[in-house]
Amino acid sequence: MPPLKVLEDVCTGCASCVSVCPFGALSMQNNIAVVNDLCTACGACLDVCPVEALVLERPQAEVKDISAYRGVWVWVEQHYGTVAGVAWELMGQGRQLANDLGVELAACVLGHNTEALVQEALRYGADKVYVVDDPTLAVYRTTPYVAALAPLVRQYKPEIFLAGATNRGRDLAGALATELDTGLTADCTGLTIDEKRQLQQTRPAFGGNIMATILTPNHRPQMATVRPRVFARPEPAAPHSNSIVRGKPMMLEEQVTSKVVDFIVEESSVNIADARIIVSGGRGVGGPEGFKPLRELAEVLGGAVGASRAAVDAGWIPYAHQVGQTGRTVRPDLYIACGISGAIQHMAGMQTSRVIVAINKDPEAPIFTIANYGIVGDLFQIVPALTKQFRARLGK
Ligand SMILES: Cc1cc2nc3c(=O)[nH]c(=O)nc-3n(C[C@H](O)[C@H](O)[C@H](O)COP(=O)(O)OP(=O)(O)OC[C@H]3O[C@@H](n4cnc5c(N)ncnc54)[C@H](O)[C@@H]3O)c2cc1C
């Protein structure tokens, strides 16, 4: 039975609903709207019906008691004692969310020999640190991590749980959300609190063409992952608390089916995510050789070279340089976009840069809407002129 009902005595046969249905689920018979099985309950027709002759019978979501959930938790991802920078970035944003809600900000530290990490979490502003310290947690593995975290969440009931959108963070958050039967929004670019105390989780949707704000109204915790460099890292300070809660590992080593044999570090000469200055090129550079003046400018400034997806897809520069939704998210002090139009998917990866300079021969290019400084002109004239000036001023 389709979930959409037509009130036949109310329907005037105007057919407005038929043309807006994206699934071809509505037609007219004897001047009355008729619904077929293609209806997905999307609700697009409800807004256009002038007489409210359409009724959507959505199944009621299971309502859980979420009133006891309080607090913001951040997972402090670490690998052999080195914390992923995104964890501290999330502590900064977590502090903002906790303040807006009037609740505690807590860090979750899992690992082995974690005392230094616990102290670091306190310096990054944690009101409380939940710790599970055990040899089974020395390196990240899904099952022992979820087994240790899930009981803590069930017992202490945070309303928000944040993790970095790293390989490990994405893995943990997905498995934990499934275990806890709650929602998870991946790769958020914005996190705010609405007037009902709900976490507004904003992320690109439909191939990055729109920004969607997602809520988790009926389940807790509200879980989100955030890519590195989306939020600013706060400065560590003297701890204002020494509240530590110790949890249990919950699994013995022999119960964990996955074993870590070795770690092989991938050698890569490019790490645009950590660069303070990025000179980035797009289709406007015209070919692989078009990156040469950009490399020269980057070298003089001590920066790295970035690229749009158009330049990467054309094979002009390797993927490791790509900035944007399907590339790296960067947050340098200075981002110089050369011959890049400013598609939403590109801007999603660089718009939080401190200063953005755009060089483009099209004065209408969207990149100028977010640029602090815009230079309209040919990059092949402007970039070498900038390099010359910087060389002279920096004595290089
Ligand atoms: C799902 C999805 C994910 C995507 N992910 C990404 C992503 O991660 N990163 C990304 O960048 N894109 C991504 N894209 C692609 C994105 O939509 C754009 O197609 C792409 O960013 C365009 O790259 P561009 O600005 O280099 O090229 P164009 O849009 O073609 O712009 C070229 C610009 O160069 C200017 N120009 C040309 N010659 C010169 C010159 N001599 N001097 C100065 N200016 C000049 C032109 O005026 C123009 O504005 C994604 C798209 C989809 C659908």
Residue 382 alpha carbon to ligand 1 centre in Å: 19
Residue 157 alpha carbon to ligand 1 centre in Å: 44
Residues 181-224: tens digit of each pLDDT: 999 999 999 999 999 999 999 998 877 778 899 999 999 999 99
Average pLDDT on 72-90 reads: 96
Nearest to 81 by CA among 109, 123, 40, 51: 109
Instruction: Label residue 197 left, alpha or beta by phi (over 0 means left) and psi (-120 to 50 means alpha).
Output: left
Place of tokens 């990059």: 379
Pocket test for ligand 1, best of 206, 335, 346 (most atoms within 8 A of CB): 346
Cite the residue boundaries of each domain of the chain with CATH code 3.40.50.620. 72-255
DSSP state of 351: T
Residue 69 CB partners (closer than 8 Å, separation 6+):
157, 158, 159, 220, 221
For the segment(s) 4-56, the CATH number from 3.40.50.920, 3.30.70.20, 3.40.1710.10, 2.40.33.10 is: 3.30.70.20
In this predicted structure, the answer to whether residue 87 has a pLDDT above a threshold of 70 is yes
Domain 72-255 has CATH 3.40.30.10: no
Distance of CA 116 to the CA centre of its chain: 28
pLDDT grade for 148, boundaries at 50, 70 and 90: very high
To which CATH superfamily is domain 272-394 assigned?
Answer: TPP-binding domain (3.40.50.1220)
In this predicted structure, the answer to whether residue 140 has a pLDDT above a threshold of 60 is yes
pTM: predicted TM-score of the whole model, two decimal places: 0.70
Residues 297-335: tens digit of each pLDDT: 999 999 999 999 999 999 999 999 999 999 999 999 999
Cite the residue boundaries of each domain of the chain with CATH code 3.40.50.1220. 272-394
Cite the residue boundaries of each domain of the chain with CATH code 3.30.70.20. 4-56
Please count the other Cβ atoms lying within 10 Å of the Cβ belonging to residue 345.
17
Pocket test for ligand 1, best of 291, 360, 367 (most atoms within 8 A of CB): 360
> What's the chain's average pLDDT?
94
Would you say 251 and 125 are in contact if contact means Cβ atoms under 8 Å apart?
no
In this predicted structure, the answer to whether residue 366 has a pLDDT above a threshold of 80 is yes
Residue 37 alpha carbon to ligand 1 centre in Å: 41
pLDDT grade for 108, boundaries at 50, 70 and 90: very high
Interatomic CA distance for residues 355 and 4, integer angstroms:
50
Residues 257-299: tens digit of each pLDDT: 999 998 887 665 678 988 999 999 999 999 999 999 999 999 9
Residue 344: predicted pLDDT: 93
Interatomic CA distance for residues 134 and 253, integer angstroms:
10
Residue 273: predicted pLDDT: 85
Residue 3: predicted pLDDT: 85
Would you say 53 and 12 are in contact if contact means Cβ atoms under 8 Å apart?
yes
